[in-house]
Amino acid sequence: MNKPLDLPILSAAQPQVGVSRSHESAHLHVSGEASYVDDIAEAQGTLHAALGLSPLAHGRLLAIDIALIKRQPGVVAVLTAADFPGENNCGPLLHDDPILAADTLSYLGQPVFAVIATDRELARRAAALAKTAIQAEPWPALLTAREAHAAGHYVIPPMHLTRGEPAQALAAAPHRLAGEWAVGGQEQFYLEGQISYALPQEDRGLLVHCSTQHPSEMQQLLAHALGWSAHQVQVQCRRMGGGFGGKESQSAVFACVAALAATKLRRPVKLRVDRDDDFMITGRRHGFDYRWQVGYDDDGHIVAAEIDLISNCGHSADLSAPVMARALCHFDNAYWLPHVAMHGYCAKTNTQSNTAFRGFGGPQGALAIEMILDSVARRLGLDPLVVRQRNFYRDGQDVTPYGQRVEDNIILPLTDRLIATSDYHARRAEITAFNAHSPVLKKGLALTPVKFGISFNVVHLNQAGALVHVYTDGSVLVNHGGTEMGQGLNTKVAQVVAHELGLSLARVRASATDTHKIANTSATAASTGSDLNGKAAQDAARKIKSRLAALAAQLLDCPEDELRFGGDQVLAGTGRSIAFTELVSKAYLERIQLWSDGFYTTPGLHWDRAKLQGKPFYYYAYGAAVSEVLVDTLTGESRVLRADALHDVGQSLNPALDIGQVEGAFVQGMGWLTTEDLVWHPKTGALLTHAPSTYKIPTANDMPADFRVALFDAPNREDSIHRSKAVGEPPLLLPFSVLLAIKDAIASTGPASCDPHLRAPATAEAVLSALDAIQPTARVG
Ligand code: MTE
Ligand code: HPA
Ligand code: MOS
């Protein structure tokens, strides 16, 4: 038994949650020791796969000259659709996505065959002969969402969400405005490209190391493709070098091909795609087209809105249905829309199949209303901020179009605080004065709010499991169903476990995600990783804690409810204590179970998918940002001079990680809306922007020169893990303020109440054409 505790030790028992801790792998990231799939030492006899891609956007596959490919140096095998013993499908919801094209070629870049060779370079060289080896009859292709929509060509039936009497309310509105607008897609551009490494195991088993956000779905899809049972397949992921939604479903094609080759050839097979191929094969954020009508009063209150949202889904459904559902559920953003009709059309085109990307349709929904409100304000000659504030949800006007009451609304106090801390009004005046004397360089300012629904919008996905092992030396291993992609999930879950057991964080280690440990997991997505897995791990830790407490109560002669776990000890109210390690080794000798599972499901969710009504979200995360930009009206170039973001993460589990997430999401969203322009060849359907030479993601140089990110520290009203809120996706919407500040700068060059048409991304070309449209003669050159 330990000596009685004195006060200094008690105060050393610091909480492990709510404090900044560095990322569990930070030291490995910076030293290059963090292991990614391609760093795993290759097993003897490892072969390498590469994919032969469709040279056509649409057509009938007539023949593949397999003999030609097989003759190439180093080639061991060539596999096609016919080689799958099970189902040739990697579509997550509908079975409409062949792993390798069978009869029809659906987009330029679609995998048609796989080459397996002795090394990666030889496999790639042989696969590059696809253009010669594939014989196909070309068919007309639909390359844009507009064309597909006009042809009524969809991956799923249209979705409609209506409240009130929008047609009548529009007709009766004091003012009406209609418009069309579009926003482009976005490449996830994870630093680690898609990769899978499949290793045959004894007795028809398979181990697959896969860079994926969704190990369980990889296990399931590749078991189906092989005609195997799930228990034969083990999928592991220690970490990803970024996923951003791009590895939620679309890691599957690579996992399935590697698995097929490994099981056919009984050799380990690795498939690591090159960046250009990754661009050509996988989908990305859905670009959206909008057609809208809005009715409003003299003060800028929206009385009615009707909007068509047309998403470019590409050739298959993938996750396009839940993406559209989330877009429809975010068109309201932070605003009360009394009468509203939304029509979601999921256009089927002959391009890559678009998929999850941070925000999952939410950004595309909310951006539409922000652009509309900006136009309304400009027509009325009001500061857009005022029109936003007037339309915010408030008591009595707090039911969303999909029927969920907004019970935790903090958008008013949050924006008020940001207006004050960012000095919005004084800077608005300064900018007006600056622009009056600056003919070429123009400044713009905008504040935009965010309200983002947290939970998977498919109810059953909101579940998670965890395993906590306490070893006899007092060290702890936690395994949960979530995956680590840089966001810091493992760190947060380890903090939760350390906190629960009263241990220092160094005692707790998180291990690789593994389908042999936690079964039937959901993707780490919808920003729910720490909400779900944190709770599951807490549940597991609490079970162990209560067993330990029963023993400690005996040993310390103290009632269980007067024990405290803290500072690597268990403390009794009497002042006696026992070291955690000692307690654990005693528990072992007493044959007490020192490990446990944990499970969690989000309470209170219900959702009618057909009616688009219910309570899809456990709570909302809020935020707002003010951006100030400088636009060169001669070149169209712009940059962010200052950005202030105030973001709601509830009671933060780890402020350092959360601020990192807000900064990262802000810059990533800014890239989407300013420089990341995707261009497909209008005739062939070839993606022309398939490398960083032509596709411009933001770099450190594009960070706002003055970047002030703060957390709005208020506990979640719901009983989330330590009252925190999810942070991964919501801040991606903060840089709407950058796009609207650029529009504000452009508007300053035109007459009062002019409303420039600025497309997104607001590249230099887009800015110039918006400037041209408002003052065709004013510019030189
Ligand atoms: N942060 C990093 N560093 N890398 C990523 O790939 N993905 C984002 C976000 N933040 C991502 C990231 C996306 S799309 C989601 S849904 C969440 O992290 C997922 O993790 P979480 O649920 O643990 O927040
Ligand atoms: N986010 C991410 N993935 C999903 C979702 C979501 O809301 N719903 C279904 N899959
Ligand atoms: Mo995130 S788009 O839900 O992976």
Distance 526 CA to ligand 3 centre (A): 5
DSSP structure string for 123-175: HHHHHTTHHHHEEEEE-----SHHHHHHTT-BSS--EEEEES-HHHHHHH-SE
Q: Would you place residue 780 in the very low, low, confident or very high pLDDT band (cuts 50, 70, 90)?
A: very low
Q: Select which of 217, 628, 663, 729 is catalytic.
A: 729
Output 246 or 753, whichever has higher pLDDT: 246
What residues form DSSP beta bridges with 643?
627, 707
Probe target for ligand 1 pocket from 319, 527, 658, 727, with the most ligand atoms within 8 Å of CB? 527
pLDDT value at residue 580? 98
Output 222 or 4, whichever has higher pLDDT: 222
Ligand 3 near 526 CB (within 6 A):
yes
pLDDT value at residue 777? 46
What residues form DSSP beta bridges with 175?
296
Atom of ligand 2 nearest to the CA of 526: 1
Q: Percentage of the chain surpassing pLDDT 90?
A: 97
Position 8 pLDDT exceeds 70? no
Q: At what angle do helices 424-436 and 411-421 cross, to 10 degrees?
A: 50
pLDDT value at residue 730? 98
Distance 712 CA to ligand 1 centre (A): 20
Six-digit token pair at 583?
């307690």
pLDDT value at residue 43? 98
Probe target for ligand 2 pocket from 319, 459, 483, with the most ligand atoms within 8 Å of CB? 319
Q: What is the pLDDT of residues 580-593, one digit of tens each?
A: 999 999 999 999 99
- Which residue minimizes the CA distance to atom 11 of ligand 1? 244
Position 4 pLDDT exceeds 80? no
**309 φ, ψ to 5°?**
-115, 120
Distance 218 CA to ligand 2 centre (A): 16
Distance 525 CA to ligand 3 centre (A): 4
Measured from CB, residues less than 6 Å from any atom of ligand 2 are 248, 319, 322, 326, 356, 360, 456-458, 461, 523, 525-526
pTM of the model: 0.97
Per DSSP, helices labelled H in 381-501 are 384-391, 411-421, 424-436, 489-501
Q: Would you place residue 13 in the very low, low, confident or very high pLDDT band (cuts 50, 70, 90)?
A: low
Q: What is the pLDDT of residues 554-590, one digit of tens each?
A: 999 999 999 999 999 999 999 999 999 999 999 999 9
Which ligand has an atom closest to residue 239 CA? 1
pLDDT value at residue 713? 87
Position 7 pLDDT exceeds 50? no
Q: Would you place residue 758 in the very low, low, confident or very high pLDDT band (cuts 50, 70, 90)?
A: very high
Q: What is the mean pLDDT of residues 635-649?
A: 98
Position 3 pLDDT exceeds 50? no
Position 101 pLDDT exceeds 70? yes
Q: What is the mean pLDDT of the chain?
A: 96
Q: What is the mean pLDDT of residues 96-107?
A: 98
Distance 171 CA to ligand 2 centre (A): 36
Atom of ligand 3 nearest to the CA of 728: 1
Question: Which residues, in sequence order, are CB contacts of 778 under 8 Å at separation 6+?
Answer: 749
CA angle in degrees (0–180, nearest 5) for 243-513-261? 75
Distance CA(726)–CA(538), nearest Å, equals 16
Ligand 3 near 525 CB (within 6 A):
yes
**636 φ, ψ to 5°?**
85, 0
Catalytic site residue 663? no
- Which residue minimizes the CA distance to atom 7 of ligand 2? 456
Query: Which amino acid is residue 728, in one-letter code?
Result: G
Atom of ligand 3 nearest to the CA of 523: 4
Question: Which residues, in sequence order, are CB contacts of 55 under 8 Å at separation 6+?
Answer: 108, 130, 131, 134, 136
Position 158 pLDDT exceeds 60? yes
Measured from CB, residues less than 6 Å from any atom of ligand 1 are 242-245, 358, 485-487, 489, 524-530, 661, 664, 726, 728-729
Q: What is the mean pLDDT of residues 315-324?
A: 98
pLDDT value at residue 781? 36
